[in-house]
Structures are given as structure tokens and as C-alpha cells.
Structure 1
Amino acid sequence: MIQNIDVLRNYPVHYPMNFSGKLTAKIVMKSDYKRADGTCALYLQVFLNKERKRFPCNISVTENDFDKVKQRIKKSNQLHHDYNLIIEKMLADINKIEVSYRLSNQVLTMDKLEKEYNNPSSRIDFIKFWENEMEQQKLVLKKGTYRQQYSSLTKLKAYKSHLYFHEITNDFLIKIVGHFKSTLQNDQSTISTFLKNFKKYLNIANKKGIITPLQTSEIKIKSFSGNRTFLNKEELQNLTAYYNDAYCLSSHKYILAKFLFSCFTGLRFYDVNNLTEDNFVGDVLVFTAEKTKKMQRITLNRSAMFFANPKYLLNENFTNEYVNRELKEICKFRGINKRVSFHVSRHTFATNFLVSGGRVEHLQKLLGHSNIRETMIYVHIVESITNMQVLKMDEILKL
């Protein structure tokens, strides 16, 4: 039976329940029909704008076990506790629907009430709304974008299983951001990505006439360059040594082939995952980028060619999430104390390309950036590295 259900327990003893003047609800027994065991079925009876609808409670008890005044199962029934929880849950669900429509200034009809009750609608629950919208956009969104937005939705669901539109307030946003920072230890980049996706689907809801206390214009997302973690020469040599080691786990070898190949080409995760032998023309890689849909041609250096072994590079298309988890374990095992994800390979390529004397305009083309300002971030990183190296000259005189 149902256990640990969150219910509203402060109902008045006498019913029907008056929700808004137009809607009333009560539990009734269909006593004109008795089953073979002498029990009668219970229904949740709702009146809305003089229209009646009965929802089955899927509970049958004898007339003596049902209190018509309190509309609850008497203690004489062995399952009275579980049955009453079901009844209270049903009444609570009706109440939530009515409150949500009223606070959102939406017109509630019996047809809508029935649909919302039998299948909690996305017009009440923002999480359900987000799920439905993502399903509709699944064929339109790029794979990486879809997975990113779905990841944000998963984070929201982990924090709160249901989020009614009238609950979306500034206080709620402050609390969930605080949860990400303090409890989950998320960095600003991760939080900003969540807020961007949250804001997108809230904006879609508002445009569809769903009113929320918090407006999208009130959600401010900080603009920042982010932490461009990259691997230096020694760390790349460390991972390559493990890749070449006879004791390297086969799953790690597949992952490292893709990761290290990207460290010397700058390819994104989904572009590496989509590669086939047809993309290789001698020492030139030709592919269409998943994100930009632009065709790119990259001349492969010897290091990239070393990891272009079809056995490892072109097989085992793991998910991005799995690869990121395994990369963390690999780096931990190899003593690399950095927060490494697959995207770090792209930062590694860009940074080491400039450190090796590459030109920023060439890097822009290799990375497929439409705006050179995106590429200039790596220039600033290299400049900071150079400045730190200049300070090492102090070791000459040891002043």
C-alpha cells in the first residue's frame, strides 16, 4: 500500500471542500451498487461551474466502514490508514491543480481538471513542462545542446521532484543556486549553464501564457570567461605513457585514444565520436562539426596520427558523462590533480598551440570559432603563463 506520502493534513473535518467558490470536492460512496463481498466503491466527486465529475478512488469498503461526515475510512477497517492516505492524496492533488491555475490567472474547466488530474500537466508543473518541451525539440536541438539542457533538467529534478509554476520565485532561485554552490560544490560555469537553460524554458512557458511570480528578465546570468583548465607537456606525456602501458585497461585505452587525439586536434566530444575512416584522407581530417554544421579540414600532426588508430579511436562510442567520470579516475590514478573533463582536451590543444608559436587567427579556424573573441581567451591564458615564466628569472640572482 501507499506509504510516506506527503499530504495536506489540515483539511476541515466536514466537507465538501470549497477551493475557489466555483470548485468543490468530496468523497462519496456508490452505495446503490454492492459488490459480491458486500463492499461499495468510493469516488472523489468534483463540482466545477455546476458540472460534476467523479474520479474513482479504487477503494471499496462496507458502508459501516465509511464515515460519510468526515469522508474517511473508520478504524474498524484494517487498512484504514492506507486508504485515508490515498483519499487525502487525491484531495491534495485537486487542490494543487486549482491553486496553480488560480495563481497563474488561468481558467480552469472540467476538461482541463480531468486531464491535469489523470496526467499531471505541464501547465502546472514546470518540470513536466520542461520535459515535454525537450521531447518536442529533440529532433531540432543539436546532440550536445540537448544533452546539456537535459543535464540541467536532471539537476532540477534531483533538487525538487515537482516544481509548480507559482513556486518559481526569486527566493526559490536563490535557494537552488545556494544548493548548487554549497552542497554540490558546483563552479560558476556549471551554475550559469543551469540558469541559462532554466531561463530558456521558463521564457517558453511565459510566452505560452503561463504566468509565474519570477519573470525571465529578473534572472541575471553572470558573463565570465570561465576556468580554461588545460594539460601541460608533462601531463600529456604522463597520460600517453599510461596509454602505451601493457597494463592499461582496455576501456581506458579507448577513452584515452579519443581524449589525446582531441588534445592534438581540438575536436569536440561529439565530433570525435562521429568520426569514421572516411573522414581521414591521408594526413588530413575532413569532417562536419556537430555544433556549427560547418565543414572543417585539419592537417594532422604526428602526435594526432599516433592516436588515430581505428581500433581504439573509431570504436566504443561511450556517453560524454561516462567518459568524463572515467577521465577523472584516470587522472587521479596518474597523479594529475586537475578537474579534467573531455572538453579539457580542446583547451589543451588551443593553449599548447599558442605556446608553440601558433597564430591566433589560425587557431580560430582550427577551433571553428565564428568570433575571434572566443579564441582570444586562450591568448590571455598564454600571456599569464608567459608572465609567470618571466618571474622565474629571479632565481638567477636569488634576491
Structure 2
Amino acid sequence: MLLSSQNIHHFPQNFPMNFNGKLTAKIVIKDDYVRTDGTSTLYLQIFVSGQKKKIPLHIAVKPIYFDKVKQRVKSKDIFHKDYNLIIEKSLADLNKIEIKYRLENENLTMDKLLHEYQNPSSRIDFIKFWEMEMENQKLIRDNATVQQQLSTLRKVKGYQNSILFYEITKDFYEKMIFHFEKVEKNAPHTIQTLAKNFKKYLHIANELGVKTPLKYQDIKMPKCVSNRAFLLPDEVFKLYEYYNSQFINESLKNILARFLFSCFTGLRISDIRAISLENVVNDILIFFAQKTGKLQRIQLSESALKFIGNDKLFYGEYTDQHINRELKQIVKACGIKKNVTFHVSRHSFATNFLICGGRVEDLQKLLGHSEIKETMVYVHIVESITDKQIHNMNDILTKKPLN
């Protein structure tokens, strides 16, 4: 669709354009390649601090119809007015970006310039920015993390489909959280996840120079009393007995092997999928964590080694949904009345590690936590268990004496 001449400001034709000494732009024609229809493509050629980049304008004209000095399409081309409007709008957009960075005293790099030029709405609309950044996250994060962040994005879009950066105030944020707490009646953990992901993408935007009334560091994470499900040693033993029983079929045994292995290592399901026997050296497991990219080294206990196959680590391929569905049937068959998903195995490892006398600093390394406060959640869980169990001693004197 050709552009209207309304609201287009013509640029003076003294090109190349020198914006601030570091940025230079001009319109060039690739006349060393002529298409079958006799035309050549026009480009916006940009120089930033010595770096060069050509951006196609999606315009093609005959070389004789392009004025290389004025850098405009000559009037001999019947679409010269429309083509020149496209050229001038491209240069105007470039000029707006340069002025914005200069006024905000921000350093303009080639990467930032291309990001701004090719995604103009991402500097205006937080939702558009979040959607675009999610594409980058897909390249560096494990699938479970990406799906969690996409779920939060869908929730926020359901609340308000477009959020302009200047709208992100303390009042806006508090109203949004209130909506999900009181209207949607989301669980505290869901609210905490939403706040964490909202803050994460606001952080990325602020770091890229996007100004918002509410800065990411002003967002205080809501406290969430942990109600993480976990299995105690006797419950893990029940699963182990079922694992070795004659009643379990091959598929359930394969799934339970993964779960019990995680109960003794703390591995996420994404890491279990990524490792093989090549990651096991004697009784040491060495791998890069899928979620964080960190290199981790775990000493495998005799218990953990019981669930490793002879020619491969684990047998069968199963989706997260299938694994969680089957685990519910397994724990029900074992008489365990808890809501169990695969991640419960990681919580169980952490809790039982501390119950058995493990140090929280060592647990932090085993779980791959970047901050000790993440690991301290399990310390509080264990403390609550021991506080309750101390009261069980009250039953000793109320029981009938043995004969």
C-alpha cells in the first residue's frame, strides 16, 4: 500500500545525513544487480561508530531513475512521489531515534538502533516489547521457563491488552495485582510468579533505556508462605517398594525411575531429558542445567545409582503432562494422599537432604540456586516439620504401657 502525503515531513536533501558524529545515513541503490524487470533495490545505509548496515526499503527502481546525489527517485518514475515519501519517512524514523537517545543521554549502538528501527512499537507498548523479548528467551531458556513466562504474559494481556510504558505507574501495578488477587482469586504462588515475570521484563526494558514512571527496582516481590508439597523418607520408600514390585508395568516403572532419581539428586525434568550416560563419570554426574546454563557437578549416592539403566540413563520418552498424570496414579496406588507432580521430587530431595543433616550451603550448590534465599525456603519447611514433631512426644506418656 502506497503512503499518503499527510503528516510526512520532508527532510532537506543534503545527504548523507550526519546526526551526531557517530550516526550517518544515506540512501543507496544496488545497481550492480539488476533484476529481470530492469530495476534495482534501494537501501537505507547506516553507519554507527564505524559499523555499517544496509536495511532494504522494499523499493525497486530503474537505476537511471534514481538520483544518487539527491538520493531520491526522479520524477520520470510514475511512483516517484510515493517512493520518496517512503524514503523520507525512513529517515524521519531514524532521526527520531537519534534525538531520543541524545536527549536521554543514552549511548546509541548499532544493535539498539536496529532494535528501535525495526520494532518501533516495542518502545511504546510494554506488551509488544514483552512479546518480542520472549523470542529471545526461547533461545536461552528451557521450555518449562518459557511456557511459564508465556502463561504470565497471557494473564497480563487478559487484564489489559496494550500497556503503554508511560502507564506503568505504582498505582497501575497495584491495581493489576489487586485484580488478580481479589477478582481472579489467584493463589499466592501464582501472584508471586506473575510479579516476578512482570518485573523481569520491565527490568529488561529499563536496562535498554526505556523510561517508566515505575522502575523495576521499585517493585517489591509479594511474600508467599511456602506450601510446597514434598515426600518424607517413608513415602519415598513406599514408592521404591512399588518400583520393585511385580505389579508395576514397564511404562510406569520408567516414569517412576526418573521421579525417584530426582528424589535423590534434585534434578528438574528438563535436565533429566537432556542428560545421558555420557554425563556420568564413575559416580559423578556432570551437566549444564537447562534453566540456568550453569555447569553442575553432583555426587550420585548409591540410592540414585539404583535407577540408572545399563545402556542408557532412562528408558522411554514421555511428555510432562503424561508424566504428571501417571505420577498421580502411582502415588494413589501407594496410598500417598498428596498432590504430586514431577517437581515434588526436587522439593523432596531438598527437604530430606536437610532433614538428614545436610548443610544449606551445600544444598544451594546442588540445586544450582544463584542466591541462598532461594534455598532458605527449604530450611523454613524443615523447621516447621521439627516444630510439629516435637509435640508428638506428648503422646509418649498417654500411650498404654507395654506388657
Tell whether the 8 Å contact from 1:262 to 1:345 is kept in structure 2 after alignment: yes
Q: CA deviation at 1:221?
A: 1.2
Q: How does 1:112-151 map to 2 (within 5 A)?
A: 121-141=121-141, 145-151=145-151
Q: Does 1:338 align with 2:297?
A: no
Match of 1:305 in 2: 305
Match of 1:367 in 2: 367
**TM-score after normalising by structure 1:** 0.58
Q: CA deviation at 1:298?
A: 1.0
Q: Structure 1: how far apart are the matches of 2:238 and 2:157?
A: 39
Tell whether the 8 Å contact from 1:254 to 1:313 is kept in structure 2 after alignment: no
Match of 2:216 in 1: 216
Tell me: CA distance 1:396–1:181, structure 2 relative to 1, closer, same or farther (3 Å).
same
> Please, what is the CA RMSD of the aligned residues?
4.3
Tell me: CA distance 1:335–1:167, structure 2 relative to 1, closer, same or farther (3 Å).
farther
Q: Structure 2: how far apart are the matches of 1:162 and 1:252?
A: 45
Q: Does 1:389 align with 2:389?
A: yes
Q: How does 1:253-272 map to 2 (within 5 A)?
A: 253-272=253-272
Tell me: CA distance 1:341–1:120, structure 2 relative to 1, closer, same or farther (3 Å).
farther
Counterpart residue identity of residue 152, structure 1: T
Match of 1:74 in 2: none
Q: Structure 1: how far apart are the matches of 2:213 and 2:226?
A: 31
Q: Does 1:199 align with 2:199?
A: yes
Q: CA deviation at 1:287?
A: 3.0
Once the two structures are superposed, what CA deviation does each residue of 1:146-201 show, in whole Å capped at 9, x if it has no partner? 44433432433454444444554445433442444356654333322321221222
Match of 1:48 in 2: 7
SS at match of 2:231: coil
Tell me: CA distance 1:375–1:49, structure 2 relative to 1, closer, same or farther (3 Å).
closer
Instruction: Give ranges in structure 2 of 5+ residues lacking alignment.
Output: 11-95, 102-115
Match of 2:45 in 1: none
Tell whether the 8 Å contact from 1:258 to 1:313 is kept in structure 2 after alignment: no
Once the two structures are superposed, what CA deviation does each residue of 1:60-103 show, in whole Å capped at 9, x if it has no partner? xxxxxxxxxxxxxxxxxxxxxxxxxxxxxxxxxxxxxxxxx9xx
Q: Structure 1: how far apart are the matches of 2:330 and 2:281?
A: 32
Q: How does 1:85-96 map to 2 (within 5 A)?
A: none
Tell me: CA distance 1:367–1:324, structure 2 relative to 1, closer, same or farther (3 Å).
same
Tell whether the 8 Å contact from 2:192 to 2:224 is kept in structure 1 after alignment: no
Counterpart residue identity of residue 351, structure 2: T
Tell whether the 8 Å contact from 1:360 to 1:375 is kept in structure 2 after alignment: yes
Counterpart residue identity of residue 201, structure 1: Y
Q: CA deviation at 1:132?
A: 1.0
Counterpart residue identity of residue 6, structure 2: F
Q: Structure 1: how far apart are the matches of 2:211 and 2:369?
A: 38
Q: Structure 2: how far apart are the matches of 1:202 and 1:292?
A: 22
Q: Structure 2: how far apart are the matches of 1:284 and 1:194?
A: 37
Match of 2:32 in 1: none
Tell whether the 8 Å contact from 1:229 to 1:340 is kept in structure 2 after alignment: yes
Once the two structures are superposed, what CA deviation does each residue of 1:356-394 show, in whole Å capped at 9, x if it has no partner? 344445544443456555545434433332232221121
Q: Structure 2: how far apart are the matches of 1:337 and 1:202?
A: 40
Tell whether the 8 Å contact from 1:257 to 1:312 is kept in structure 2 after alignment: no
Instruction: Give ranges in structure 1 of 5+ residues lacking alignment.
Output: 1-41, 52-100, 107-115
Tell whether the 8 Å contact from 2:328 to 2:339 is kept in structure 1 after alignment: yes
Q: CA deviation at 1:239?
A: 3.5
Counterpart residue identity of residue 202, structure 2: L
Tell me: CA distance 1:125–1:322, structure 2 relative to 1, closer, same or farther (3 Å).
farther
Q: Structure 1: how far apart are the matches of 2:176 and 2:249?
A: 39
Tell whether the 8 Å contact from 2:265 to 2:298 is kept in structure 1 after alignment: no
Q: CA deviation at 1:231?
A: 0.6
Tell me: CA distance 1:123–1:235, structure 2 relative to 1, closer, same or farther (3 Å).
same
Q: How does 1:234-253 map to 2 (within 5 A)?
A: 234-244=234-244, 248=248, 252-253=252-253
Match of 2:153 in 1: 153
SS at match of 1:47: coil
Tell whether the 8 Å contact from 1:257 to 1:313 is kept in structure 2 after alignment: no
Tell whether the 8 Å contact from 1:324 to 1:341 is kept in structure 2 after alignment: yes
Match of 2:279 in 1: 279
Counterpart residue identity of residue 260, structure 2: L
Q: Structure 2: how far apart are the matches of 1:222 and 1:370?
A: 20
Q: Structure 1: how far apart are the matches of 2:155 and 2:322?
A: 17
Q: CA deviation at 1:349?
A: 1.2
**TM-score after normalising by structure 2:** 0.58
Tell me: CA distance 1:177–1:340, structure 2 relative to 1, closer, same or farther (3 Å).
farther
Q: Structure 2: how far apart are the matches of 1:191 and 1:374?
A: 17
Q: Structure 1: how far apart are the matches of 2:356 and 2:397?
A: 28
Q: CA deviation at 1:350?
A: 2.1
Once the two structures are superposed, what CA deviation does each residue of 1:207-239 show, in whole Å capped at 9, x if it has no partner? 545454544344221356734431113432443
Tell whether the 8 Å contact from 2:266 to 2:346 is kept in structure 1 after alignment: yes
Counterpart residue identity of residue 122, structure 1: S
Tell me: CA distance 1:178–1:137, structure 2 relative to 1, closer, same or farther (3 Å).
same
Q: Structure 2: how far apart are the matches of 1:388 and 1:288?
A: 38
Which stretch shifts more, 128-137 or 216-225?
A: 216-225
Q: How does 1:314-329 map to 2 (within 5 A)?
A: 314-316=314-316, 318=318, 320=320, 323-324=323-324, 327=327
Match of 2:181 in 1: 181
Q: Structure 2: how far apart are the matches of 1:128 and 1:335?
A: 48
Tell me: CA distance 1:392–1:151, structure 2 relative to 1, closer, same or farther (3 Å).
same
